[in-house]
Amino acid sequence: MAGELFKKVREEAGLSLESVAGELKIGARFLSLLENSAFEELPACVYTTGYIRQYAQLLGISPEPLLSEYMAHSKMRQTDVKKEKAPLRKGAASSRLILIIPAVITAGALIYFFSPENRTPKEASKIADIYTIPHEKEKVKNLRPDPSESQLPDRPDSSVGGYHLVLSATDTSWLSIEKDGGKNEEVILRAGESREWMSPTGFRLRIGNAGGVRITFNGTDMGVPGERGKALTLRLPEEQHLPGLREAKR
């Protein structure tokens, strides 16, 4: 198993699982699961692939063997799930058929009852009174959306105030963005991708590959915050004038 290679390299380097977990800011349990190729208990694919790349980068080895093993396991797992769901679909179709048959019978009965040839003149008069055609002005309803109604913005609205952060990847990097006094989001940006956020209180960033991300803060291009392959934690706006950022910008 490819995970055993990670464990072997780590032990040969004299690193404990806890020290690696502290350096990468990844739970020691997740690293242990990777080393044992116990993929069923790992989180979503986007996080697990990020963990594999970070771990490999720290150890100085290629992540591809473990990534290939993990992706093959994920595809096999998806195939098994589809096979399990197939009988359920057949059962669902039978259930829908059982529900449709009574509805068809009821509709047929209503059509028969309201059919003109099966009504007396008195019944027809009552039905006409109930279903009086409304006035034309009341019958037509304007279905176009009211332009005054608020619409969700396609991008963060900087008019509400606060801080605007844009992260653009020049190389694959794992990111953790904490904003609004505790709300945390983890993403993996690949080369050429970018994301942006708004926060009234600023940001706390953890970057797995400091040389692979370019920071634009409140419209100012701050460049890359550190060296390629190095992990970095920083706060914005408190640390927006760090010497490392000024040097990276130059």
Break the chain into its structural domains and give their ranges.
2-69, 160-249
CATH for the stretch 2-69: 1.10.260.40
For residue 107 the two structure tokens come to 């509709």
Look at residue 84 and tell me whether its pLDDT is greater than 60: yes
Residues 6+ apart with CB under 8 A from 50: 174, 186, 188, 208
> Does 167 or 41 have the greater pLDDT score?
167
Distance between CA 52 and CA 64 in Å, rounded?
A: 9
pLDDT at 157: 47
Residue 250 clears pLDDT 50, i.e. is over it: no
Q: Which residue has the higher pLDDT, 190 or 1?
A: 190
pLDDT for the residue 91: 59
According to the model, what pLDDT value does residue 131 have? 45
Highest average pLDDT, of 29-33, 132-136, 139-143, 161-165, comes from 29-33
Query: How far, in Å, CA of 164 to CA of 72, rounded?
Result: 39
Give the chain's end-to-end CA distance (angstroms, integer).
44
pLDDT at 235 over 70: yes
Q: Where are the strands (E) in the chain, listed by range?
A: 163-169, 173-179, 183-189, 194-199, 203-207, 213-217, 220-223, 232-236
The pLDDT assigned to 137 comes to: 43
Which pLDDT value is given to residue 117? 55
Does residue 79 have a pLDDT over 50?
yes
**Rounded mean pLDDT of 115-124?**
54
DSSP for 164-219, please give it: EEEEEESS-EEEEEEETTTEEEEEEEPTT-EEEEEESS-EEEEES-GGGEEEEETT
For the stretch 200-214, pLDDT in tens is: 888 898 998 989 999
CB 7 within 8 A of CB 16: no
Q: Which pLDDT value is given to residue 148?
A: 47
Average pLDDT over residues 144-164: 52
Q: Which pLDDT value is given to residue 122?
A: 56
The larger pLDDT score, comparing residue 106 to residue 10, is at: 10
Instruction: Give yes or no for residue 141 having a pLDDT over 50.
Output: no
